[in-house]
Each structure stands twice: as structure tokens, then as C-alpha cells.
Copies of this chain bind each other. A is one copy, B any other.
Amino acid sequence: MKTDFQDLKPPPRVLLGPGPSNVHPRVLRAMATPLVGHLDPEFLVIMDETKELLRYVFQTENDLVLPVSGTGSAGMEASLCNIIEPGDQVVVVVKGVFGERMCDVAGRCGARVKRIEVEWGRIVEPEQVKAALKDGGVKVVALVHAETSTGVLQPLEEISHTVHEHGAFLLVDAVTSLGGHPVKVDEWGVDICYSGSQKCLSCPPGLAPITFNGRAAEAVHNRKSKVQSWYLDMTMVEKYWGQERAYHHTAPITMNYALREALLLIFEEGLEARFERHRLNHQALLAGLQAMGLEPFAQAGHRLWTLNAVRVPEGVEDAKVRRRLLDEFSIEIGGGLGPLKGQIWRIGLMGYSSSKQNVLLFLGALE
């Protein structure tokens, strides 16, 4: 076997891709903190503080809020596999890779999946959701708030109204919005919402904040069948994160140190100031890109501040440009996923990565 292992020295990157984003030094420092046990009284305080801070970013009073011990995709699976029982009808809006992924996950949970197909790069209209619900019998409507594969921000309020008129649950993927765009879980009536730690929260990847409101939690508690995933079974996980402190699985201690610190940075900055920062840097970047003749991919009026998708200009080699940005400037951006491969670039300005300096640096480097 290989025996000449070198010191760990990954190059310092400017992370302007679809995530992970750069991590604030205070969060990195938190990760170097020595461990305590997962049932240590001092860790229980950290857990409680983390829940409190998660409520702040989710803008919710929900009891059930915690970080799932996995990445954003584990959050997606936890959301779906807890609420879905075999045979349930689930409507999934597919307007990018992550809606597609939701269909796959929901199908594996035994759902009868009804897809609403939307052109990639556009939002779904409330009428389309209404039409999908008109025959009744739908338990869950699942959709992505900030579609990382297209750069589209989906309005949720009107859809939430429609979903609830039909007695269904609204399940929202906020992986690329939480901490960068408002995600008003309570005000918008989102029943189940999940995110990932490594995007606008600017924490390393490895945790997936999740929340269920009372009605959704009740549905999970009243299931007829066991949740198919033991690891993600919220009826057990919530007892570790709740007052019972019942051992379920060993929490990733260090990742939780990091998440708490990242959330604390958000709390100190303030949500409104943070959103405004993301909005302004997005505008500056987009203006610069448009001045170079680059065309935004996402529907006007519904563009993410946190992930800027632009079309690769005719005659330009996608991979070559990204490789040069990486090699010459140590800047990472994302290419297109799935059918958009080679068609778009995805430039993330998330959390700590969303700064005036990075906007200028990137525009200069691309030029």
C-alpha cells in the first residue's frame, strides 16, 4: 500500500460554488475544541442553545427542531420518510435536480408520487399546485424553496394556502435559502422544513437542520407503521434532543459545536442584515456579469441571492473556464447538473462567502 502520506494541506479556496461555502474562522476554531460525551450535561446545554438558534433562523416557535446527523440529503430523507407511510399520495414539484431527488426518495418510502413538471429555471405557479390537488387524497406537497440546480427562488405563501385548503402538508427544501433568504416557517405555514449546514449557514457539511410543526409532528406520532429508517426516525431522535435525553445514536459532537458557532454568528449579525448583505452582493455580481454579456438563467423576479445561475456563452468551454478559475485563482464555482451540464455556471454567494470582496475578485478573475 501507499506509505508516503503527506501533511494535510488542502489549498485555500474561495468557495463560490453551490456549497460548501467558506467557513468563518470562529467556526473552524470551534471544531478544534476537545470533545465531551454526547450525554455530558455540558453538551446538553449546547444542544438546547442550538435548538434555540435554529428556531431563530427558521423563524419558528416549533417544538421539534434539531440538526439531523447527516448532510442536507439526509434532511430530505428524514422529512419524507417520517411523514410518508406506504401508499400515501405525495405531490412533488420537479423544477430541478432536487425536486427530482425528492421523487426518488419519496418513491423509496412507498409513496405514490404525482409529479408537477416545471420547466427548469422557472417557478411553479399556485394554479399548477391547485390542479394537482383537485382530486383530493394528497397527503404531502413537497417542493424546493431555493433550487440549487437552477438558481430559482420559489414563492411559498400562496402555495401554502392552497396546500392547506386541501388538507395536505407542505414540505419544503430550504437547503440553499436558510440563512441567506427569509425562510418564514411559521408565517408561511410550512409544516416540514429542512436545510443543510454547508450553504448559507456557512458551517462545514454534515448536519441537516430540520423542523416539524405541531400538526406534522402529530402525524408522525400517529403513524401506523414504523418509520423505515431507524437512523432518521424522528420519534426516537426527538427524545434525545428533547427533555428525555434518551440515547439514540451518538451525536456528531464536533459538528454540533460548529453549527452552534455558525448560528451564533447569524444571530449576532441579525437575520435582516444578513439577508440584505446577500441581496446586495447578488445584485452587484449580477450587474457585473450582465455587463460582461452573461445572461442569467433563472426567471426574472425569482432569482436566488445565494446562487447565481448564468448561461455559459456560446463557444466558451465550461469545464476549461472553471478549471482555470480553480488553478489560477483558487476559486471554485459550480457547473450545471443533469440536463444543464455544460449549459450554465452556478456562482454561490452564501453565508461567509457572500462578500463584496468575493464579488470583485470573481468578476476580476472571470474577466
Interface positions of A (Cβ within 8 A of B): 1-3, 5, 8, 10-13, 15, 17, 19-20, 22-23, 28-38, 40-43, 46, 49, 52-53, 55-56, 69-74, 76-77, 101, 104-105, 107-109, 196, 198, 204-206, 226-231, 247-255, 257-258, 260-261, 264, 267, 326, 332, 337
Partner of A40, one of B10, B46, B107, B227: B10
List 14 other contacts, CB 8 Å, given A28-B32, A69-B74, A73-B250: A1-B56, A5-B267, A10-B33, A10-B36, A10-B42, A17-B37, A31-B31, A32-B32, A107-B226, A204-B253, A204-B255, A205-B252, A206-B206, A254-B258
Partner of A249, one of B23, B72, B226, B255: B72
- Check A43 against B10 for contact (C-beta < 8 Å): yes
The minimal Cβ–Cβ distance linking A264 to chain B, given in whole angstroms, is 5
Of A8, A198, A248, the most chain B CB neighbours within 10 A belong to: A8
Q: Could you tell me the distance between the alpha carbons of A90 and B56 in the complex, rounded to whole angstroms?
A: 45
Of A38, A40, A73, A226, the most chain B CB neighbours within 10 A belong to: A40
Q: Which chain B residue shows the least CB distance to A43?
A: B10
Contacts of A226 in B (CB 8 A): 107-108
Contacts of A42 in B (CB 8 A): 10-11
20 A-B pairs with CB atoms under 8 Å apart are A1-B55, A1-B56, A2-B49, A3-B267, A5-B53, A5-B267, A8-B257, A10-B34, A10-B42, A22-B35, A31-B254, A35-B204, A37-B332, A71-B250, A72-B249, A74-B249, A108-B229, A108-B230, A205-B250, A206-B255
Contacts of A40 in B (CB 8 A): 10, 13, 326, 332
Q: Could you tell me the distance between the alpha carbons of A300 and B260 in the complex, rounded to whole angstroms?
A: 45
The minimal Cβ–Cβ distance linking A73 to chain B, given in whole angstroms, is 4
Q: Could you tell me the distance between the alpha carbons of A231 and B72 in the complex, rounded to whole angstroms?
A: 10
- Check B73 against A198 for contact (C-beta < 8 Å): no
Partner of A29, one of B32, B74, B229: B32
Known: A31-B32, A33-B8, A36-B10. A229 touches B22 (CB 8 A): no
- Check B227 against A108 for contact (C-beta < 8 Å): yes
- Check B105 against A205 for contact (C-beta < 8 Å): no
The minimal Cβ–Cβ distance linking A333 to chain B, given in whole angstroms, is 10
Partner of A36, one of B13, B43, B56: B13
Contacts of A43 in B (CB 8 A): 10
Q: Could you tell me the distance between the alpha carbons of A178 and B267 in the complex, rounded to whole angstroms?
A: 40
Contacts of A19 in B (CB 8 A): 250
Known: A69-B70, A229-B108, A264-B5. A15 touches B37 (CB 8 A): yes
Of A107, A205, A255, the most chain B CB neighbours within 10 A belong to: A205
- Check B1 against A69 for contact (C-beta < 8 Å): no
- Check A20 against B204 for contact (C-beta < 8 Å): no
Contacts of A46 in B (CB 8 A): 8, 10
